[in-house]
Amino acid sequence: MDSILVTGNGPLNGQIPIAGAKNACLTLMPATLLSEEPLTLTNAPRLSDIRTMTALLQSLGAEVTSLQGGKVLAMSSHDLNNHKADYEIVRKMRASILVLGPMLARDGHAVVSLPGGCAIGARPVDLHLKALEALGAELELKEGYVHAKAPGGLKGGTFEFPIVSVGATENALMAATLAKGTTVLKNAAREPEIVDLAQCLRRMGAQIDGEGTSTITIQGVDRLGGATHPVVTDRIELGTYMLAPAFCGGRVELLGGKRSLVEAFCQKLEQAGIAIEETEAGLAVSRAAGTRVQAVDVTTEPFPGFPTDLQAQMMALLCTAEGTSVLEEKIFENRFMHAPELIRMGANIDVHGGHATVHGVDRLKGAPVMATDLRASVSLILAGLAAEGETVVSRVYHLDRGYERVEEKLSACGAKIERVAST
C-alpha cells in the first residue's frame, strides 16, 4: 500500500484548481439508470470512488465511457440486463445504495446489497428504505440484500425525513421523478450536491421544485431523456485546500472556488484569523507571516452549517491555535478517529463522546501516522505540512477515494510532499 511522505516547510504560495464534487458525481452517475437515453457528465473528478461507481453501473448493464482522461463520463443505460447490485462492489462504497431508487423507479424491481463505506459510525440506510416505501415500494431484507419491488410502478407520496440525510434525499428524489403523481419530501437535505442533482434531473425532463430548501416537490413524469451536465465544484476539496495556507502561511488561490459553497466554514476560518478574498478566478486565502491561528469552537451540521467532511481538517488546524477550541460532531458519532493520530504528532486533544477539546500547542512534530478514513487522511497531510520534520501517512487508499492528484496540487504551491510506493 502506498504512503505519503510530507516534510514540514515554510509558506505556500500559488494556485490550486478545484475539481468537480465527488459526492455530487456519485449521485449524478446513478441518475443515468433513470433513462434509456445518454447522460454525459462534464467536470467529473478522477477518483477511485468514481471508478467503483463506474464498475457498479457497468455490472447492471449500463455503458460508462471515461473521456478526456476521466473528466467526462459518457453514460447510457439502454437495457439494464441485471438488477442486482452485488455485495462485492457495494461493500467498497456506501454511495452504491444510490442505484436502488433509480432502478426501482424505472423497472419496478431491484436487489441491492447493504453497503459498507467509511468507518465513521453506524451509517444505516433505514431512511433510504422508508422514503422509498412512502412511494409504494415493497421491501424485504434477505441475507444482506434489500429486495425491492414496485408492482405497477412507484406512486407519489409525502415523506418527512426524521433527520436530514443527504443520501436518502437523493435516492428519494431520483425515484420520485418517475413515480405517478406528486411527491413531497419534507426536512430534505439542502446540500449543493442535492441542488446539482435536481438541476441535472430537470435537464433530463424531470419536474422538480424547491431543491436547496427543506421541502422538495416532484411531479412524476412518464419518462426521462438524455442530458449533458457539468458536476458542481467540490466544496470539500475547496475547504481542504483553503486550509493549506492557514496551516503553513502564505497565499493560495483556489480556482473555481465559491464562497456560497462554504460560507459557514469561511466564517470560522475568518474568526480564526485567516483572510479570505473573492477573486475573479475563485477564492484566495492567506495568513500573514508572524500571525498565529486563533482558537474557535466548531459544531458540524447539515448544510448550510459547518460540514462534517471538513471537521477533521479543521481539528488539525486548531491543534496549533492560540487557546482552546471545542469541536462538536453532530452528524457521525464516531468521527474523531484522527484525534489519536494527531496526538501522536504532539497535539493535546481530549475526546468525550461527540465533543473534542483541543488545547493549542506551539507546533506539531512529524510522526508515522495512519489514515483511518478519507477526510482524516487529508487532515494528517495538512498537519504534516506545518509540523517539524517528516510525517509518513500510511493507508492512503482512503485518500485516493476522494482527492485527485493531492501531491501535484500541493507541491505546485511549494509543499514538500511525495508518494512512496509500497515495496
Q: Using an 8 Å Cβ cutoff, are 249 and 62 in contact?
A: no
137 counts as binding ligand UD1 under rule CB under 6 A:
no
Pick out residues in 97-126 that bind ligand UD1 (CB under 6 A).
121-126
Ramachandran class of 76: left when φ > 0, alpha when ψ lies in -120 to 50, beta otherwise: beta
Given 196, 237, 253, 309, the residue binding ligand UD1 (CB under 6 A): 309
Provide, rounded to whole angstroms, the least separation between the CB of residue 354 and ligand UD1: 11
Residue matched to cell numbers 514540514: 8
**Residue choice 8, 45, 167, 384 for contact with ligand UD1 (CB under 6 A):** 167
CB of 128 to ligand UD1, least distance (A): 5
Q: Which residues are paired to 42 by β-bridges?
A: 230
Burial 199-234 (b: 16+ CB within 10 A, else e): bbbbbbbbebeebbebebbbebbeebebbebbbbbb
Known catalytic residues are: 118
From the list 164-172, 213-221, 310-318, 413-421, the region that binds ligand UD1 by CB under 6 A is: 164-172
In the complex with ligand UD1, the residue whose CB is nearer, 169 or 391, is 169
Q: Is 165 in the site for ligand UD1 (CB under 6 A)?
A: yes
List, in order, residues 6 or more apart from 158 with CB less than 8 Å away: 134, 183, 184, 186
3-class DSSP state for residue 403? coil
Are 406 and 4 a contacting pair, CB within 8 Å? yes
Is 123 known to sit in a ligand binding site? Answer: yes
Of all residues in this chain, which one has the CB nearest to ligand UD1 in the complex? Answer: 167
Instruction: For Cα atoms 349, 355, 357, give the angle at the middle one, nearest 5 degrees.
Output: 30
Q: Which CB atom, from 171 or from 286, has the smaller least distance to ligand UD1?
A: 171
* 297 labelled binding-site residue: no
d(CA 423, CA 419): 12
Closest approach, Cβ 58 to ligand UD1, in A, equals 19
CA–CA dist 110, 104 (Å, integer): 5
- CB neighbours of residue 136 within 10 Å: 19
What's the number of CA atoms in the CB half-sphere (13 Å) around residue 27?
Answer: 26
Q: Which is nearer to ligand UD1, 161 or 247 (CB)?
A: 161
Name the grid cell of 104. 426501482
94 binds ligand UD1 (CB under 6 A): yes
51 touches ligand UD1 (CB under 6 A): no
Q: Looking at this protein, which amino acid is placed at residue 245?
A: P
95 is an interface residue for ligand UD1 by CB under 6 A? yes
CB under 6 A: which stretch of 159-167, 177-185, 352-360, 388-396 binds ligand UD1? 159-167
The answer to the question of residue 166 lying near ligand UD1 (CB under 6 A) is yes
The candidate with the shortest Cα–Cα distance to 291, out of 310, 275, 311, is 275
Indicate the residue among 60 and 168 with the shorter CB distance to ligand UD1: 168
DSSP annotation of 323 reads S
Q: Within positions 4 to 23, which residues make up the interface with ligand UD1, using CB under 6 A?
A: 23
Q: Which is nearer to ligand UD1, 114 or 396 (CB)?
A: 114
Q: 30 preceded by cis ω (within 30°)?
A: no
Q: Which stretch binds ligand UD1 (CB under 6 A): 71-79, 166-174, 243-251, 361-369?
A: 166-174
Among 159, 241, 306, 332, binds ligand UD1 (CB under 6 A): 332
> Which residues sit in the known binding site?
22-23, 94, 123-127, 309, 331
- Binding site, annotated residues for phosphoenolpyruvate: 22-23
Residues within the interface to ligand UD1 (CB under 6 A): 23, 26, 94-95, 121-128, 163, 165-168, 308-309, 331-332
